[in-house]
C-alpha cells in the first residue's frame, strides 16, 4: 500500500500543509518538512516555485517569487530532498506547474521523484486528457500518484472521470478563486462539500484553498477526509521561527 493510501486509511481527519520550497530561505525546505512531521502533520505539499503561478493567491505568489530570488531550482529541490526518507515517513507531494517539469524532462522528473520518495504530484495546469493520453502509463510505472483538482464548477461527469483515474485522493478546491485564507466558509461552499460527499466517490477528497484556522478546518472536514493549509502557514513562517511551528498547528487541530 502506498504511503498516501496508508495515511488516508487511518481513522482521523487529515491535515496537509503546503509551503513553497526555498522559502523563507533557500535551505529551509528539509528543516520545514522535518519540523512539520514532528508536530503531527499528516501530509506535506512542497510547492515547486514558478514565475507564473496562475492558481495561486498573493501570499503563495510572493513566497514563490522569493524562493526563486533565493536561487531555488528543480535540481536544487531534489538535492535537498535526496535523504529526506531517512527522517520522514509521511506522504510527500510536490505541487507545481507543468512548465518547470517539462523543462527538466517529464520522465527524468518522475524518476527523481521516485528516487527521493515523493509520493504524488499536483499539477494544476496539466489537463486530464493530456495526462491520460501521454503520461498516465509513465506515472503508474514509477508509482507516482497524479492528484487532480475539482472545483464547484466541475461537472459530475468529469468528477467521475477524475475519480476513475485517481488512486489516492481528489484535491477539492473550495471555491473558484485563487488560493488565500478565509475565516469561515459560506453556505454555498458547505453545500458543495455535502454534494460531493453524496456522490460516494471511491477516492477520498482533501479540501484546499481558504483553510486557515480551526473553524475552516472543521468545516472543510465535516464531509471530506482532510484539508490543506497553505497561505496562512506561509504567512506564519515568514514572521516566526521554524521551531515555533507547534504554535501554528495547535490553532488548527
β-partners of residue 20 are 47
Closest CA to 149 of 135, 159, 157: 159
Beta-carbon contacts of 123 under 8 Å, excluding residues fewer than 6 positions away, are 95, 96, 97, 98, 101, 146
Contacts of 242 (CB under 8 A, 6+ apart): 28, 31, 32, 35
**Is 129 a catalytic site residue?**
no
The region, left, alpha or beta by phi > 0 then psi within -120 to 50, assigned to residue 47 is beta
**Among this protein's residues, is 119 annotated catalytic?**
no
Peptide bond into 163 cis (omega under 30): no
- 3-class SS letters over 165-210: CCCCCEEEECCCCCCCECCCCCHHHHHHHHHHHCCCCCCCEEEECE
- The residue annotated as part of the active site, out of 42, 56, 125, 241, is 56
Of 28, 45, 164, 186, catalytic: 45
Q: Are 224 and 204 within 8 A, CB to CB?
A: yes
Q: Which residue matches cell numbers 481513522?
A: 11
Give the cell for residue 147: 492528484
Q: Which residues are catalytic?
A: 45, 56
Amino acid at each position: 500500500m502506498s504511503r498516501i493510501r496508508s495515511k488516508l486509511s487511518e481513522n482521523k481527519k487529515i491535515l496537509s500543509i503546503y509551503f513553497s520550497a526555498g522559502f523563507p530561505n533557500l535551505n529551509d525546505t528539509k528543516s520545514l518538512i522535518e519540523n512539520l512531521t514532528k508536530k503531527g502533520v499528516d501530509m506535506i505539499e512542497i510547492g515547486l516555485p514558478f514565475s507564473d503561478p496562475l492558481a495561486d493567491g498573493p501570499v503563495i505568489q510572493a513566497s514563490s517569487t522569493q524562493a526563486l530570488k533565493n536561487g531555488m531550482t528543480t535540481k536544487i529541490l531534489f538535492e535537498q530532498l535526496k535523504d529526506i526518507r531517512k527522517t520522514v515517513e509521511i506522504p510527500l507531494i510536490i505541487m507545481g506547474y507543468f512548465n518547470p517539469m517539462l523543462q527538466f524532462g517529464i520522465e527524468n522528473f518522475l524518476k527523481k521523484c521516485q528516487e527521493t520518495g515523493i509520493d504524488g504530484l499536483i499539477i494544476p495546469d496539466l489537463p486530464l486528457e493530456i495526462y491520460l493520453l501521454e503520461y498516465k502509463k509513465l506515472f503508474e510505472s514509477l508509482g507516482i500518484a497524479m492528484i487532480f483538482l475539482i472545483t464547484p464548477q466541475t461537472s459530475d461527469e468529469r468528477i467521475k472521470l477524475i475519480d476513475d483515474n485517481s488512486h489516492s485522493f481528489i484535491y477539492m478546491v473550495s471555491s473558484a478563486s485563487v488560493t488565500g485564507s478565509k475565516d469561515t466558509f459560506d453556505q454555498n461552499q458547505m453545500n458543495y462539500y455535502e454534494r460531493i460527499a453524496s456522490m460516494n466517490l471511491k477516492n477520498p477528497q482533501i479540501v484546499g484553498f481558504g483553510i486557515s484556522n480551526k473553524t475552516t478546518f472543521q468545516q472543510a472536514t465535516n464531509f471530506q477526509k482532510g484539508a490543506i493549509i497553505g497561505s496562512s502557514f506561509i504567512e506564519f513562517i515568514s514572521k516566526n521561527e521554524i521551531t515555533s511551528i507547534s504554535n501554528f498547528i495547535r490553532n488548527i487541530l
